[in-house]
Structure 1
Amino acid sequence: MMRFAWLKCRDDSSMPFAVYVSFNRYFRLEPLLSSHASALEQFHSWVLARIILSLIDSAQSWQPEFSVELPAPLTLHGLQSFVSRTERNLPLDDDMKVVADALSIERVQALIASARVQAGRKFSVLLMDDAALTLTPEYLIEFLDIVRSLKSIDLAPKASVYPGTTEVSPKFHQGQDSVAIPVWVCIEDPGYDDVMDGIADTRVKDFQSTPADVRVMLRFAAFGIPRAYLTMLDEFHRGDHRTAQQGVTRTIQEHLDARLAEFRSLGKKVPKLASLVEAGEKVLDGIVREIKLFNEGVGGKGYRQLTVGVVEGELTPVVERMFNLLVEAGLTYDNLTVKHGTPSRIYRRYIPHAANLLSIRAIGGGGSGGSMRQTVEAIGFKSAKHPVRKSLQRIVPEVDLGSLSLSLPKCASCHTPRLADSQRFCHNCGQQLVDASTFSQCLETAIAQVPGLTVWQRAQIDEHLPNLKTLRDFLAKQDPAADLLTVRGFGRRRTAKIVDVLNGFVDEYLS
């Protein structure tokens, strides 16, 4: 959506001058926190350097294009080298330190203002994508301070953050320093079908030839995420299936499995959230079961139920954080609060993922032999007036929500969970305890375990490059492609694809 906004601004002279910048590689700076006393200062400079480089790209892509004059000692090559060395955790030489020291909020504001004048626009908007920095709270505090400082009378920064893992700075106040704008289209929205089909009709070549019932099922299962709809349509058309119903069922199940796997990965990326992730999946399953029971009771009456109402009194900070993680992973939609008079009848409404509902036939009949036509008809029913209202403890009696808490990192030596946050030595093996590093865990991943590589490619790398075992070995090389090109059968195109697969895995793991 930010890229789309950038394109709209570029092509419409009545809109602001826009700069799009992504911070999706911020986690490569995580090791600096434990190895450099000036890690936050270097991160600060890295953010500003990224913004200036993106400003230059925007100027070159603008219509008509123009140039950004960098003041000494800043140069394009110097900024690119500084960003590259910082993301590779390489030491900075004297020239790079001069570049870092020359970067400031005021200088960035002045450069954007100069570019805005050249573009002939009255205002500027800074679109900061992948800006949640969820896995490094120390950097997040610094980043939000940068966002707050960049804001001026003619410059508006916009940052994409997540509801579950983003932790804001004590200096950053939502409502005063920022305005939250949700961008997720609710599946209950009257214009939902038109929005999703409008995008698909533009992006999918054979969209109009797709059977109407298939479009309804996949559109519903996409749960308000256009990219999910496009992906499932593509998978359906490429799939080898005997019937449309078989193809739809398989496509939806694979999509749901991928979403659940992404949600579970949050527990690995942020170890303290592991217990909330585990409990969240059980709560999601319980909510889906309750909706299935409700729909079986009202089936044939022309109504369908998608929503569960949770009494606000049950939403302790930890339980609310658990739901926020489900929302962040796209498995639950927060449909805000509804009041029915007394405080005990104030409910927070949640809609579980539509693919999850379809996977257990919670809509359109509970039997295993139901047809796709029945499900499509049920999807078209009116929504029930009130959500399912039932205590969470009754929905998931196997989860003790009262004692739910954040997880403590395990011992790196014997993997025994620590007993207290202040514990310094493992009570099982006696080793000194250190905080877990997601970046280090990612780097220890064996190249043989990275999905996307063929069996033959893995075997060739293992045989001919014995020193290239883990992602740490791969990222440590300044030119890994040069080593891969020495392998028999690895040409330039195949080597480039392998490098893209490995870099893509790292970025996805840490995103």
Structure 2
Amino acid sequence: MSELYFRTEDLTPEEVSDYFVETEFDRRTIDALKSKKTVVLQGARGVGKSFLLKVAQKELDESFSTSKTLAVYITFNKAGLLQTADSERFKHWMLAKICERIIREARKKGAIRHNSTIFATLSHDDSDEVTELRLQKLRSQLEDAWKNDSLPQTIDSGIDPEVIKDAIEDLCSQTSVRRVVLLVDEAAHVFIPEQQRQFFTLMRDLRSPYLSVKAAVYPGVTYFGDSFQLSHDAELVNVNRDILDKGYLEAMREIVLRQDPELQSNITKNGEIFDALAFAASGNPRTLLKTVSAASPLSANNAQRTMREYYRETIWSEHSALGDRYIGHRAVIDWGRQFLQKHIIPMLRKKTGEAGDSDKRVFIWIHRDAPAPVKESLRLLCYSGILHEAGSGLVATRGLTGTRYMLNIGARTGPEADPVSATTWLRRAISIKRMVEFGANHELYESIARLDVDKMDEERREFIKSQLDRSVDKLDMTAFAKGRLKTLGFDTVGKILAASESDFQQAKWVGPVRSRQMMNIATAAVMEYLSG
């Protein structure tokens, strides 16, 4: 079996195309990302947000000669390093990074040439090259500020949203470019509400006939702020693959086979076992790839072992680990785990009726007036992928309104003696119409209802400094990548963040291309770890 790739950052643009399994939903989403609309792409870790952004970027790149739509992919995964009381630093970091990336992509496409001044005149530089270098230096200084306190108190990129819009309008009027699409990944990755509010304000302010912004965010941990109204300022696209869709299992199977066609015979031979793993993954490709890899060679015994380990232990320990990283959120994180593990799942497992069958429900409904800490807890469970929002504003029993959530199928069947058979049974019996309902003042809320949600982020700013000495083994990357980093001496989070691509090139057979790939993979894994 070949090594399966769990993260988009591990893939080249060519591999993104090779591994893309298009569904009707994916095509609609990609077309929205390529359109003039402002789009917020929302989904839990591993559902494929970055992958869809990359596919949209590649399609726009390939059609640039005819569409003249300039795709600019930006990742904000280093935002968590900007731990500063000066909110202007984050604002100017965003502006610098956006402007720098637009100039770079325009030059790659031949839209601007040597000594062009489209962006330079608006930021008082001699040329676009000078502007790009100045902004690149400023961005790097801000990202490295966690290492020391040498930066001046006042930081100014020399640009603002109106400047960027004017520059892009000039770009479109003076060159062959018709419009620009910003594809922002990890836009709201970190648990810093103030930064997120600043980004969404900027997202709203950048909208113009020549520029549209698309942003990938996580459910449960995104703060849009007062100035950005999601229903009016953007189209929300939830990246949740419908497990009840008739083409779901076929698409999930194809996702695995695109990476390793040699698994075809083993999957065909153990089709029902594979289908159980795919259904348990609840629409999350990364979870499926991880569990298929862990269950290799695919067999009933290996699948049973993998499901027990992953859905009884790993998925819950990863969620609880959020409480260690974000002390202010620990109470709601712990309550959410207990709510599901001690009450919901045991209730669903309880045998009922003459036939002694387990409850077939996997959906829960929470009244819209439930206490804020309860809703915060459920949102964080969505962030971890243990719950999936499956409709808001839904009317339930007695005409009451609330939000429906789907429990991760693996989390529901993992505690069973035979998780594979339990998943297969549930797959044939599930119905979206049947829900476990919880009103506005359910007795299970009592222990959490009076928690002050507004005080949950007070200890966030000290988090980065406390984590820099953690081992590279804590990161979500392949064993090969970890081994290479440790061989080079980059065995902690802090050392990786302080490294450069030239440092990675000290290893045998590692040149500029591979060092860039290693840096992207390492940085993405580090930042996802630091951000939760």
Deviation sequence 1:152-197 (CA, Å, 0-9, x none): 1232212222231222222222222233221212323344334423
Q: Distance in 2 between matches of 1:227 and 1:111?
A: 39
The one-letter code of the counterpart of 1:287 is: I
Q: Distance in 1 between matches of 2:347 and 2:225?
A: 38
Equivalent runs, 1:72-471 vs 2, <5 Å: 72-73=125-126, 74-89=130-145, 91-92=150-151, 100-113=156-169, 120=176, 122-209=178-265, 210=267, 211-237=270-296, 244-256=299-311, 257-285=313-341, 286-293=343-350, 297=353, 304-313=360-369, 315-336=370-391, 337-340=393-396, 342-344=398-400, 346=401, 348-361=403-416, 368=417, 370=418, 372=420, 375-381=423-429, 383=431, 385-389=433-437, 397=444, 400-406=447-453, 437-443=462-468, 445-447=469-471, 450=474, 471=493
2:60 to 9, 31, 50: 9
Matched-pair contact (CA < 8 Å) for 1:274–1:406: no
Q: What secondary structure, in the 3-state scheme, does the structure 2 residue paired with 1:228 have?
A: helix
1:54 to 101, 105, 130: 101
Bigger radius of gyration: 1
The one-letter code of the counterpart of 1:106 is: E
* Larger RCO, structures 1/2 (Cα 8 Å, 6+ apart): 2
Higher mean displacement: 269-278 or 181-190: 181-190
Deviation sequence 1:74-100 (CA, Å, 0-9, x none): 433333222222111164589x96xx4
Q: Identity of counterpart residues, as a percentage?
A: 21
Q: Distance in 2 between matches of 1:78 and 1:229?
A: 43
Alpha-carbon RMSD: 4.2
Shift of 1:279: 0.4
Deviation sequence 1:188-237 (CA, Å, 0-9, x none): 33443344234334333234321211220111121111222233333333
Distance 1:159 1:131, change over 3 A: same
Q: Distance in 1 between matches of 2:215 and 2:483?
A: 40
Distance 1:15 1:393, change over 3 A: farther
Q: What secondary structure, in the 3-state scheme, does the structure 2 residue paired with 1:108 have?
A: helix
Q: What secondary structure, in the 3-state scheme, does the structure 1 residue paired with 2:198 have?
A: helix
The one-letter code of the counterpart of 2:226 is: P
Give 5+ residue unaligned stretches, structure 2.
1-51
Give 5+ residue unaligned stretches, structure 1.
34-38, 362-367, 411-420, 422-433, 462-467
TM-score scaled by structure 2? Answer: 0.71
Higher mean displacement: 449-458 or 158-167: 449-458
Q: Distance in 2 between matches of 1:262 and 1:6?
A: 31
1:26 to 68, 79, 102: 79
TM-score scaled by structure 1? Answer: 0.74
The match for 1:464 is: none
The one-letter code of the counterpart of 2:528 is: E
